[in-house]
Amino acid sequence: MSTQLWRTRELMRVLTVRRIRTQVDREELVRVRRGVYAPYVCDDEDELRALLMCLPEGAMLAMQSAARRHGFGVLREALVHVQLPPQIAKPRLPGLVVHHSVLPARPVLIGGLPCVPAAQCAVDLARSVRRTDALPVLDAALRSGAVTQDDLLVELALHRALRGVRQARDLVPRADGRSECRQESQLRLLLLDAGLPVPEPQMWVYDEYGVPRFRIDLGYRERRVGIEYDGLSHLDRDRLRHDRDRINWLDANGWRMRYFTDRDLYRRPSHILTTIRTALTP
């Protein structure tokens, strides 16, 4: 349940300014934001509510902050992003990034907080962030179920004259909700940008009876080439045992597996491309 929040003017109907200060000093009231008070220390959700109470009418969560609410917050961001109508001056508050809306938006309420609609949020980010972050956002938006491919295409048409739309127009058709993490999306983008064939994300491999045995992060079924990104989860002992069983089974059944880490993805991408090109060569 949300914490009760009061503006100063609401408290002053029953308390004097001096009494408000006294209660804050005694920790009977908590000053959450300038002009916003609560009966006790707030959690992150109530902090957001308090922040929005300090902003002009029409403010709504946007960009990374809205994406997190919609379920596709794959970009880490400590700041809060909000959107305001273009005619309203941008307020300056600690921890806040304000964007002026360039398209009309009817906010959707998530947990009581107004947010930019999911499709607009996804395309806004696809236009604005680095290319290597944009595809993970779009993949995650599809995976979350917050949007469909058609939703993104319809929204994309509305952004046709906006800055960065060329990047979004290139990436939206490539988005795939089967990718399960940011690094898998970035690895797939690396292969696509290098002109390699389109790999299948989270590809099931079947045994001779047609029973699904194992999934591969990225794969080329006809070439029997699989690609795996090894993250921190692979350090778990049970996961390690499972991976060894899978590696042995795939090898015994004619699959050529290639494994990469964050060092390969972020520091030596050319190594990945050379390795995969060689593996795909008949």
**Per-residue pLDDT tens over the stretch 149-163:** 999 999 999 999 999
- Burial label, 203 (beta-carbon count in 10 A; 0-12, 13-18, 19+): middle
* Higher-confidence position of 253 and 105: 253
> Strand 36-38 and strand 6-7: pairing?
antiparallel
Whether pLDDT at 76 is above 60? yes
Question: Are the C-beta atoms of 173 and 223 separated by less than 8 Å?
Answer: no
Q: Domains of the chain: which residue ranges?
A: 6-42, 60-174, 182-280
Mark 12-47 as b/e (b = at least 16 C-beta within 10 Å): eeebeeeebeebeeeeebbebbeebbbeeebeeebb
Tokens at 58, concatenated: 């029409």
Check whether domain 182-280 has CATH 3.40.50.300, yes or no: no
CA dihedral (232, 238, 227, 264) in degrees, to 10, reads 30
Residue 234: pLDDT band with limits 50, 70, 90: low
Question: Are the C-beta atoms of 140 and 125 separated by less than 8 Å?
Answer: no
Whether pLDDT at 233 is above 60? no
pLDDT 10s digits, 4-56? 887 878 887 888 888 888 888 888 788 887 888 788 787 778 888 888 888 99
Question: Are the C-beta atoms of 257 and 247 separated by less than 8 Å?
Answer: yes
- Computed over every residue of the chain, the mean pLDDT equals 92
What pTM was estimated for this model as a whole?
0.88
Quick one: average pLDDT of 188-214?
Answer: 97
Quick one: average pLDDT of 114-140?
Answer: 98
Phi first, then psi: what are they for 170, rounded to 5°?
A: -75, -35
Instruction: Please state, in angstroms and rounded to a whole number, the distance separating the CA atoms of residues 143 and 120.
Output: 16
Residue 260: pLDDT band with limits 50, 70, 90: very high
Whether pLDDT at 197 is above 60? yes
What whole-number percentage of the chain has pLDDT above 70?
Answer: 98
